Amino acid sequence: MILDFFRLDGRVALVTGAARGLGQAMALGLAEAGADIVGLDRCSSDETGAAVTKLGRRFSQVCCDLRAASVADLNAIVAQSIAEFGRLDILVNNAGIIRRAPALEYSEADWDDVLQINLKTVFFLAQAAGRVMVPQGGGKIINVASMLSFQGGILVPSYTAAKSAVAGITRGLANEWAKHGINVNAIAPGYMATDNTAPIRADAARAETILARIPAGRWGEPADLKGTVVFLASRASDYMHGTIVCVDGGWMAR
């Protein structure tokens, strides 16, 4: 039956930025489909863990500030996940930050922090997971892109650069790893009601302009990503490679 293709029973998923927002929602969606969860965040993921275990799934917490994480640290996180649950089937590269300033005033520190978390850790966590998934015979890697993987945005040059590169890395890794049974795809959320967009939503004039351009007529909620992440993590998406899936209320269609 087709619905069985969406089940994730026996699978283990590592989700970065799992303490709140998009990462928490995606972790819960994967758990609802049957997966055990390793939740990585720089702060406590106790709330996510409690919700996962309430669903009858196992949860392991990894505390790590990705701004300071080395490649060795990222390899160790993957190794820890496997030591905890015996396998790793799904990686969701969700963790991200945004720093806003005019391009003429943008600081090196803000540039480096954003590229470190939004791009460098995405690649090297995928690399670490890929080294496990190739001999394992397959796996699912889901990166979180953005509308700014397609557009330029304003006041966020490092975020735009990183998210554009995430789309490119997704396609590049898909080309190399599809033959190993690894699906590498990305989700590009639209304007979502999260901490990252709080400053924009607090600006009444700008928030109104954005909302007027969203055909769905509302900001996205983290739970809106649950269905897409489960699909991309499941057998139902086995013939999808290098795809950037927009979950944006119709923003890109406008």
**Residues carrying an active site annotation:** 159
Band of residue 164 on the pLDDT scale cut at 50, 70, 90: very high
Tokens 């060795």: give the residue: 72
Consecutive H or E run containing 140 = strand 139-144
What are the domain boundaries of the chain?
A: 2-194+222-246
pLDDT digit string, tens, across residues 74-130: 999 999 999 999 999 999 999 999 999 999 999 999 999 999 999 999 999 999 999
CB neighbour class for 108 (10 Å; exposed up to 12, middle 13-18, buried from 19): exposed
Is the Cβ–Cβ distance between 233 and 11 less than 8 Å? Answer: yes
Return the pLDDT at 48: 98
Least confident of 67-76, 132-141, 204-213: 204-213
Q: pLDDT > 90: what percent of the chain?
A: 94
Query: Is 0.95 surpassed by the pTM of this model?
Result: yes
Each residue's pLDDT tens digit, 202-222: 988 989 999 999 999 999 999
Residue type, 91: L
Mean pLDDT along residues 216-237: 98
Model pLDDT, residue 198 = 86
**In contact, 39 and 29? CB cutoff 8 Å:** no
2-194+222-246 folds as Rossmann fold (3.40.50)
